[in-house]
Structure 1
Amino acid sequence: MSTLQLWLPAALMLVLLALQTPVTWAMAVAALGFFLLNLGEMPLANFAQQMAEGTESVSLLALPLFVLAGCVMNASGITRRLLHLAEVLVGHATGALAQMCTVLATLLGGLTASANADAAMLSKTIGMQMVQRGYSAPFAAVITSSSAIITALIPPSIGLIVYGFLAEASIGRLFAAGIVPGLLLAAGLMLTTHFVALKRGYKPQRESRAGAREVTQAVIDGLWALSIPVVILAGTRYGIFTTTESGAIVVLYVILVAIFGYRDMNWRDLPEVLAESVRDSASVMMMICAAAAFGFYLSWQQVPQAMSGWLAGTTTNAIAMLLLINLVLIVLGTAIEGSAALIILTPMLLPLVEGAHIDKVHFGIVLITNLTIAGITPPVGGLMYISSQTLKVSMGAYSREIAPYLAVMLGLLVLLSVFPQISLWLPDLIYGTGPVQ
């Protein structure tokens, strides 16, 4: 195998990424280059075959189903009801709109399943309101993109589904494992916002704390939406349905709620909702196909084994290994978009994780948290771009505002790495310590 055949596909992908080529196409073109360089050893048809094989998993059925459920929820007025609930809960706090942003992102975690979708929604709704009411646009972009990270941890998360598929880990346990870290992240963001808002004089949204009757009414109004993670975890825990089947159950559940419960949607709205969910799902599935072909190149060249061997030679301590992996991922995250990094790096890191006897569910939460933090990190953070473009904020202004929030998130990442029970105690409580799918 020549040096050209070994390194040209990887170099080609990095060049395409530097030219701001969409991640899917960068991986696909690089993989195609590998197959063209090796026509003498394998037919070109293998390229298409590897892309197709990337979708051949029952676990991936959950992804488009949860995306569809989120689209139905957004079309049926759930976001508006949850925004009202967030306002009732924290509208009296200093920097109320920013606090509402974090609370709403936490409540929406079980609905959108996508951090990118959350960032777009939050920046278009609360972000624009913040700017109109005197908050700085860079601060609004930072809090909307940072809050969207919570969605990557609260079930059902697309990132957790993809990781579970790649790592052959229990998606049910991953869903349960993401809840506590997600809530801790929300608390950390809200505490940081309190001090920033206090310093800048960002005022409350309402004069006094909401009364018990108003809070109760707001909770009841949003109860259908808030019950979705409970339905998923309870159903999988007691064997009523698998995690994959829970996607279909949730779709049916939210359609019935939207049409007969809230009555803000009718059957005629479903074609447009279906079309939106197909577009959203297709973009993720195409990335998985491209990554499967690129992953074949990495496997063929034994890159995962080489990387694992290099890292394994540095330390034998599981915690030290996990912290070292975090450091590598943080550096890579400044150059590679989070979703692509998840798909490319998971197969490369798994042999190392298993060799160090690190729980795959625990590692999944650390990995997803790390790579989603990369979404708010310049220069290629996807969440950063979504919020910044919506609110017309430059990368320089955004970078100056992100520092305190980034520090809090990196601190949480270290805690999750050093203390695995933060992630594992809830799945162990719900499912026990044995494997579950």
Structure 2
Amino acid sequence: MTFLSFLPILLLFVLFVLRVPIAMALLIATAVYFGAINTFMPQETMIQTMVASMESFPYLAIPFFTCAGVVFNYAGITSRLMGLAEMLFGHMRGGMAQVNVALSAMMGGLSGSANADAAMQTKMIVPEMEKLGYNRAFSTVVTAASACITPIIPPGIILILYALVADVSVAKMFMAGLLPGIMLCVLLMITVALVSRKKGYAPSRATRASFREIMRHMGKSIWALLLPFGIIMGLRFGAFTPTEAGAVAVVYAVFVGAVVYRELKWHHTWRILEESVLATAGVMFIICAANAFASYLTWESIPATFSNFLIGSVDNPIVLLLIVNLLLLLVGFFFEGGSAIILMTPLLLPVATQLGIDPVHFGIVMAVNLTIAGFTPPVGTMMFITISIAKVKMEDYVRHAMPFFVALIIALLLLTLLPGISLWLPDLFL
């Protein structure tokens, strides 16, 4: 293995520093390898790899679940979930910030995307928080931090990607994400309460909602709340495959919006299709590019070399997981979560399994880790989405982000050291 073997990796990081989009940076680095370094391989190998990587039936789950999330936004589900969250948590200190966190947990079963959740809630909740006297930068940070919950609660797109790359059960990954997602929600709500006490942020409701009020809003939102559990139970009892679950979610979303709430209209169809296609195309283009780059890594035996190095250096699974956490946080500063999962799983999973780490537990640790990286500077995707929409300076964002970063790292360490948090439900039901 020579210096030229690592040249595409060095080129990739140079392109990241120059702010070249992730997919294009991956393709340029891969093209340099197959076009100039590896002269034994036909130059069309890169294109063939990209096309072949998409010829996989399970990948259809991504556009289906993406479309379902878009439909729910037009179906009136989001506003009803926000009303339910305010009924349940608006009386707490920092009430609207608590609603922000709780809504992300509820939206986890619908959108499955941290970036989509961050964009939607920045537009919807940050202006309301500012009207109630919350600092705009604080409101933006709460929105970005709470978006870390969304992809961990099923059906998160990042869980689907890991399951496909690692060849593990999608149903197990979905089940494994429930308790970690709830734990993230609880820790972030505790952080909001502590910061709100210090800053003097008041509840958004003067009194706790009555049981009748809660039940009334629960009835309005029950259709949305049933979706993630329906998907998991359907997978558990073999009613449908993960890909078919995505199609079921779309049909269910259309039914709720058009028949139950009657807010989904024919004139919404074009906008739903446009948003779904654009969101899916972005994700799939990154996946194609990442798979092409992975073919270069495999050809040069870089994953095997890296695995052998780690195995020779580390023989304790806990130490390995801590090292992986540090590595993934650094990787996540530059890579979007989905592409990082595709690139890093072949490198790290063989080492983890050889040391006896459960692949499902390892997948949850990777997913949470890379999602946290999206919250943090210098190039966290949720950070950039929220500050660009809310028009907040990065230095103001960073100043308010530290307590939430600490809470997220505590959650990550608990998941790392206590695998039962991830594995209890899959072991119980599957």
Q: Which residue of 2 aligns with 1:435?
A: none
- 2:52 and 2:296 map into 1 onto residues whose CA distance is 14
Q: Which residue of 1 aligns with 2:61?
A: 62
Is the deviation greater in 145-154 or in 340-349? 340-349
Distance apart, 1:7 and its partner CA: 2.3
- 2:334 and 2:270 map into 1 onto residues whose CA distance is 38
Written as runs of structure 1 = structure 2, the 5 A alignment for 1:268-417 is: 268-417=267-416
Q: Describe the superposition over 1:5-27 as per-residue Cα deviations: whole angstroms up to 9, x where unpaired.
A: x1221122111111111111111
1:354 is matched by which residue type in structure 2?
Answer: T
2:117 is matched by which residue type in structure 1?
Answer: D
1:12 is matched by which residue type in structure 2?
Answer: L
- 1:288 and 1:379 map into 2 onto residues whose CA distance is 22
- 1:395 and 1:267 map into 2 onto residues whose CA distance is 40
Q: Which residue of 2 aligns with 1:259?
A: 258
- 1:315 and 1:12 map into 2 onto residues whose CA distance is 29
- 1:371 and 1:206 map into 2 onto residues whose CA distance is 35
Written as runs of structure 1 = structure 2, the 5 A alignment for 1:231-246 is: 231-246=230-245
- 1:250 and 1:40 map into 2 onto residues whose CA distance is 46
Query: Secondary structure in 1 aligned to 2:97?
Result: helix
Distance apart, 1:2 and its partner CA: 4.9
- 1:2 and 1:206 map into 2 onto residues whose CA distance is 65
- 2:263 and 2:332 map into 1 onto residues whose CA distance is 41
2:73 is matched by which residue type in structure 1?
Answer: N
Written as runs of structure 1 = structure 2, the 5 A alignment for 1:201-240 is: 201-240=200-239
Cα pair 1:57 1:165 within 8 Å, conserved: no
1:368 is matched by which residue type in structure 2?
Answer: A
Cα pair 1:370 1:413 within 8 Å, conserved: yes
Q: Describe the superposition over 1:202-236 as per-residue Cα deviations: whole angstroms up to 9, x where unpaired.
A: 11111101111110010110011111011101111
Q: Which residue of 1 aligns with 2:102?
A: 103
Cα pair 2:158 2:337 within 8 Å, conserved: no
Q: Which residue of 1 aligns with 2:146?
A: 147
Cα pair 2:328 2:370 within 8 Å, conserved: yes
Cα pair 2:333 2:373 within 8 Å, conserved: yes
> 5+ unaligned residues in a row in structure 1: which ranges?
432-437
TM-score, scaled to structure 1: 0.96
- 1:103 and 1:39 map into 2 onto residues whose CA distance is 51
- Confirm whether residue 428 of structure 1 aligns to residue 427 of structure 2: yes
Distance apart, 1:39 and its partner CA: 5.8
Distance apart, 1:80 and its partner CA: 0.6
- 1:396 and 1:280 map into 2 onto residues whose CA distance is 29
2:115 is matched by which residue type in structure 1?
Answer: N
Q: Which residue of 1 aligns with 2:247?
A: 248
- 1:105 and 1:125 map into 2 onto residues whose CA distance is 12
Is the deviation greater in 366-375 or in 14-23? 14-23
Is the deviation greater in 356-365 or in 338-347? 338-347
Query: Secondary structure in 1 aligned to 2:357?
Result: coil
Q: Describe the superposition over 1:371-429 as per-residue Cα deviations: whole angstroms up to 9, x where unpaired.
A: 10000111011111111111222221111111111111111111111111100111111
- 1:110 and 1:388 map into 2 onto residues whose CA distance is 25
Query: Secondary structure in 1 aligned to 2:274?
Result: helix
Cα pair 2:161 2:338 within 8 Å, conserved: no
- 2:365 and 2:423 map into 1 onto residues whose CA distance is 11
Q: Describe the superposition over 1:245-283 as per-residue Cα deviations: whole angstroms up to 9, x where unpaired.
A: 111111111111111111001234223212211111110
Cα pair 1:337 1:380 within 8 Å, conserved: no
Q: Which residue of 2 aligns with 1:120?
A: 119
Query: Secondary structure in 2 aligned to 1:313?
Result: helix
Is the deviation greater in 55-64 or in 364-373? 55-64
Q: Describe the superposition over 1:144-166 as per-residue Cα deviations: whole angstroms up to 9, x where unpaired.
A: 00000001100110000111111
- Confirm whether residue 175 of structure 1 aligns to residue 170 of structure 2: no
> 5+ unaligned residues in a row in structure 2: which ranges?
none
Is the deviation greater in 345-354 or in 158-167? 345-354
Q: Which structure 1 residue ranges, 4+ long, deviate > 6 Å from structure 2?
A: none
- Confirm whether residue 49 of structure 1 aligns to residue 74 of structure 2: no
Cα pair 1:53 1:292 within 8 Å, conserved: no
Distance apart, 1:332 and its partner CA: 2.6
- 1:39 and 1:349 map into 2 onto residues whose CA distance is 25
